[in-house]
Chain A
Amino acid sequence: MRPFTYERAASPAAAASAAARAKGAKFIAGGTNLLDLMKLQIETPSHLIDVNDLGLDKIEPTAEGGLRIGALVRNTDLAGDSRVRRDYGVLTRALVAGASGQLRNQATTAGNLLQRTRCPYFYDTNMPCNKRRPGSGCSAIGGFTRHHAIVGQSDACIATHPSDMAVAMRVLDAAVETVRPSGAARTIPIADFHRLPGNTPHVENALEPGELITAVTLPKPVGGTQLYRKVRDRASYAFALVSVAAIVQRDGRGRVALGGVAHKPWRVEAAERELSHGAKAAAAGMLAGARTTHENAFKVPLVERTLASVLAEAKG
C-alpha cells in the first residue's frame, strides 16, 4: 500500500468538504473493495476519510411510503430488515446472493454501489487497462472474456459491474442521495448513477469529486412476486455470469434488470412490455444489439433461460 494520512469525519458535509480539500482523498466505509485495491496499488489515495461515524446507518420510512437506507447500512442489516424482506424481497435476495457472510457484515450500501469491476485485467497491473490507466488500452478485448459484457460495451472497455445489490436497486427504481463539497444535496436516479464505459471507462458513476453518498431511497413498495436468480460457476461466493432481478405482477406485467452482462445494471424498460409474451421476446428486447465473443456468447441464451425460469417461478 502507498502511504496515506487518515482522518475520521464528523459529519457528511465535513467529509465531502475534506475530500474536496485534500488532493487524492478517498472515503472509506466497509473497506472490502478499496483496501484490496490499495494493496495492489490500483487505488492509491493519499488521504483516507473514514465515514463510519457519520450516523448514516439507519433505515427509515420516507414521507412517500418508501424507505431511506443510510449509506452505511451494512449489507447484512439491509438484507435482514423486516420491511425490506417483506416489501422489497428482490433486494434481500440479491444481497444474500453476493459475497460471503463476513463481507456482508462489513460492506455498506453505498460502497456496494461503488464496487469496481472484477475484470482480471483491471487487477493485473502488468497489463494495459483503460479503467486503471486511461489510454493504455484494453487487455480484455481479444483476451479471456468469459465474464465480460455483452451489451453496452465500448472499444475501450468490456468490463461488467459486479454488484448484485445494484441490479435489485435498478429494478426497484431506487435513488441515490448525496452531499457535495459545497454542502448542497442532490438526488440521482439509479438509472443515471452508473455509466456505460464509452471512451472514459475510468469514470464509472455520476458522482463529482468529493461528492458523498448519504442514502439510497426506495419508492413505495410495488408488490408483485420479487425474485433474484444468479447463475455462477459455484453455488455460493462467486460473481454472477448472469443474474436476473424481476418483479412480476399477477397479470404478467413486470420489470426486469440484468447483472453480469454490462458495465452497469442492465434494464430496458421498453422490453418489459414483452414480459407477458414470455422470456424469449423480453430477452431479445433487452439484449438487442448484443456483441459477444466466442467465450461469452453463452450469456445470450443463458439470459433467456434464466428469465424463463424466473417467470415460471413467479407464475407458481
Chain B
Amino acid sequence: MTTFDPTRRKLLKASALAGGAVAAAPFLPEAEAAAAMQAAKPAAAASMNVLLRVNGTDHQVMLDPRTTLLDALHERLQLTGTKKGCDQGQCGACTVIVDGRRITSCLTLAVMQEGHDITTIEGLGTPKNLHPMQAAFMKHDGFQCGFCTPGQICSAVAMLEEVKAGVPSHVTVDLNRRPEASSAEFRERMSGNLCRCGAYSNIQEAIAEVAGVKG
C-alpha cells in the first residue's frame, strides 16, 4: 500500500498478509514452500457468466462454479453485511432471503441462484431508513460483537413471515391449527442462528416487539 488507508477492513487484510509471510518462512525452505503453494492452488474450473439479482439490482458476474452465494455476495459484490461464520450451514451468520425465504448462503452455489430474488441485510434497510427489525435490535441491544447480527435479522424477518404463512414448527402444539406468534415459537424457529456473545434474550425481545407480542 502506497498511501495510508485507515479502513479497518484494509488494515486487517494487510496485517493478515504480513503475519502469514512471517509465520510460513521459518518452517519451509523457499523452493519447497513455493511448491506447496502451487500444489495447494486448485486447478481452475471454467468460469461461468452468472446473473444475480440482489436487493433489486442485476449483477452480471463471471464466477468459478465453486463460488458459493455467500462468497459471491461478500467477495465479488462487496456486500459485506452477509457474514461467513462456519461456512458449513451450522451458524446462520450467512442467512439471506431468497424469493422470500431465509436460507444459508454458504450452502448454495451462486450459479444455482440465477433467476432468483436475493435480499441481503443491505437490502432490508439503510442507516437512515432502518427496517423495523434493525431498529428493534438496536433498541433492545440485540447484539454485542455484531457478527451474527445481519444473519439474525434476515432470519428473523423471514421467520415471522413463515409464522404468518402457517408453517408449523417443532413446538407447534396442534398441527391442524395455525401456529401462534409467541416467544416459544420464535425461540425454536431461530435455533439456526447462533450468537457466540449470547445476546439471545435481547434478540428475543426485539423479535417479539416487531411481531407485536409479549417478549
Contact = CB atoms under 8 A, between A and B. Distances in A.
Contacts of A234: 191
Contact of B107 (A36, A85, A235): A36
Interface residues of B, number: 45
B189 A101 contact: yes
B108 A106 contact: yes
Nearest to A34: B107
B166 A5 contact: no
A54 interface: no
Given A50-B112, A52-B112, A105 B170 contact: no
B88 to A, nearest CB: 5
B107 A236 contact: no
Contacts of A3: 42-45, 64, 66
B46 A5 contact: yes
Given A4-B65, A32-B89, A76-B162, A101 B108 contact: no
B170 A96 contact: yes
A28 B109 CA distance: 10
B131 interface: no
Contacts of B48: 6
Contact of A31 (B112, B159, B170, B172): B112
A85 B109 contact: no
A66 to B, nearest CB: 18
Interface in A13-53: 28, 30-32, 35-36, 39, 48, 50, 52
A31 B108 contact: yes
Q: Chain B: interface secondary structure? A: loop
Interface string B24-43: 00000000000000000011
A297 B169 CA distance: 31
A105 B101 contact: yes
B83 interface: no
Which residue, of B102, B103, B172, has the highest number of chain A Cβ atoms within 10 A?
B103
Contacts of A4: 45, 65-66
A105 B102 contact: yes
Contacts of A48: 65, 109
B159 A101 contact: yes
B188 A35 contact: no
B92 A96 contact: no
Nearest to B167: A80
Given A5-B46, A92-B175, A96-B172, A35 B108 contact: yes
Contacts of A97: 170
B82 interface: no
Contacts of A39: 87-88
B98 to A, nearest CB: 8
B170 A6 contact: no
B176 interface: yes
A32 B187 CA distance: 22
A100 interface: yes
Nearest to A76: B167
B95 interface: yes
A3 B48 CA distance: 13
B192 A102 contact: yes
Which residue, of B106, B159, B165, B187, has the highest number of chain A Cβ atoms within 10 A?
B106
A236 B188 CA distance: 7
B102 A101 contact: yes
Nearest to B166: A80
B155 interface: yes
B52 interface: no
Given A92-B168, A96-B170, A101 B192 contact: yes
Which residue, of A4, A5, A39, A96, has the highest number of chain B Cβ atoms within 10 A?
A96
Contacts of B54: none
B149 interface: no
A5 B168 contact: no
Interface string A210-245: 000000000000000000000000111100000000
B68 interface: yes
B73 interface: no
A2 B192 CA distance: 28
29 contacts: A5-B45, A6-B65, A31-B107, A31-B108, A31-B109, A32-B107, A35-B109, A36-B89, A36-B107, A76-B162, A79-B167, A80-B168, A85-B168, A85-B175, A86-B176, A89-B175, A96-B172, A97-B170, A100-B92, A100-B191, A101-B102, A101-B159, A101-B162, A101-B190, A102-B92, A102-B192, A103-B107, A236-B170, A236-B191
Top 10 A-B pairs ranked by shortest CB distance?
Answer: A100-B192, A3-B45, A236-B191, A237-B191, A6-B65, A85-B175, A1-B66, A105-B101, A80-B167, A96-B170
